[in-house]
């Protein structure tokens, strides 16, 4: 079974967490694209969605789902999104698609974060397989890069990428994150950092893993 099939299995299993008459938080990425396609079946039953990227917004509208601004809602029941890495505790690295800041904002509004992944995303220590994305105000790029080196990482500028917020991304390689909560705060305290892709403060409450045997739910 290929990776896309496994993503579809996880995405479909997330539908049961979406209640009729609610507004659902929706992340971004290829797994979320599968979720949005499945969510199309509930188009007339939910009030709408808040999206974490312009691309997800477009896909939701194509499915006939109303899209609300994050400023229009005081809270969301659930937020559904993928991850680049996830630990057994639900700590994640996100931002492979450069949408980390909006993902952090929309997921912060939600009571529950449901993370949909295939098994390749499961790790014991964050930073094992994926570089940590950091969204940075353009003029602070070199300064922030030096601070990330001082923390032990090897930052690389993601050439040609501008986020939905008009900023740039530094990907931090060779960076094992042993204390996710502490490191999330430390990096966010560097002047010029908008946010980083460690999701520890807002961890996943439920992880749904797509496997050839079906969806495995970890609560």
Q: Is residue 81 part of the contact set for ligand 5RP (CB under 6 A)?
A: yes
Q: CA–CA distance from 147 to each of 75, 172, 184, 193 (Å)? A: 35, 11, 14, 11
d(Cα 156, Cα 165) in Å, to the nearest integer? Answer: 19
Q: Mark whether 41 is an active-site residue.
A: no
Q: Which of 27, 153, 155, 192 binds ligand 5RP (CB under 6 A)?
A: 27
Binding-site size for ligand 5RP (CB under 6 A) equals 17
Region of residue 201 (left: phi > 0; alpha: psi -120 to 50; beta: else): alpha
Select from 22-30, 59-67, 145-153, 187-195 the region that touches ligand 5RP (CB under 6 A): 22-30
Q: Is 96 in the site for ligand 5RP (CB under 6 A)?
A: yes
Is 18 a binder of ligand 5RP (CB under 6 A)? no
The active-site residue, picked from 37, 57, 85, 103, is 103
The DSSP result for 101-140, as a single string, is HHHHHHHHTEEEEEEEEEGGGB-SSBTSSSPEEEEE-GGG
In terms of CB distance, is 120 or 154 closer to ligand 5RP?
A: 120
| Under rule CB under 6 A, residue 90 binds ligand 5RP | no
Nearest in space to 102 (alpha carbons), one of 202, 3, 20: 202
Using CB under 6 A as the binding rule, whether residue 95 contacts ligand 5RP is answered as yes
Min CB(92)–ligand 5RP separation in Å: 8
Q: What is the CA radius of gyration of the chain?
A: 17
Nearer to ligand 5RP, 30 or 62 (CB): 30
Query: Please, what is the minimum distance in Å from the beta carbon of residue 118 to ligand 5RP?
Result: 8
Residue 135 engages ligand 5RP in binding (rule: CB under 6 A):
no
Which of 26, 51, 83, 168 is close enough to bind ligand 5RP by CB under 6 A? 83
Identity of the residue, 21 or 112, whose beta carbon is nearer to ligand 5RP in the bound complex: 112
Residue with tokens 């396609």: 37
Kind of pairing, strands 206-211 and 168-173?
unpaired
Q: Pick the closer one to ligand 5RP by CB: 83 or 148.
A: 83
Active site residues: 103
Positions that interact with ligand 5RP (CB under 6 A): 27-31, 81-84, 94-100, 103
């Amino acid at each position: 079974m290929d990776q896309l099939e496994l993503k579809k299995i996880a995405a479909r299993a997330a539908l049961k967490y979406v209640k009729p008459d609610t507004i659902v938080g929706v992340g971004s990425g290829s797994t979320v694209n599968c979720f949005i396609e499945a969510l199309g079946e509930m188009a007339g039953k939910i009030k709408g969605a808040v999206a974490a990227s312009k691309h997800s917004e477009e896909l939701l509208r194509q499915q006939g789902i109303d899209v609300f601004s994050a400023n229009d809602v005081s809270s969301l029941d659930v937020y559904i999104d993928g991850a680049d890495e996830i630990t057994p505790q639900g700590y994640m690295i996100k931002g492979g698609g450069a949408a980390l800041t909006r993902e952090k904002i929309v997921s912060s509004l939600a009571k529950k974060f449901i993370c949909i992944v295939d098994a390749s995303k499961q790790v014991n220590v964050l930073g094992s397989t994926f570089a940590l994305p950091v969204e940075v105000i353009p003029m602070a790029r070199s300064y922030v890069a030096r601070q990330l080196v001082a923390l032990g990482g090897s930052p690389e500028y993601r050439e040609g990428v501008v986020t939905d917020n008009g900023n740039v991304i530094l990907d931090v390689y060779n960076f094992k994150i042993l204390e996710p909560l502490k490191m999330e705060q430390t990096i966010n305290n560097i002047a010029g950092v908008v946010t980083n892709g460690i999701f520890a403060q807002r961890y996943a409450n439920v992880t749904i893993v797509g496997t050839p045997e079906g969806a495995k739910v970890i609560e």
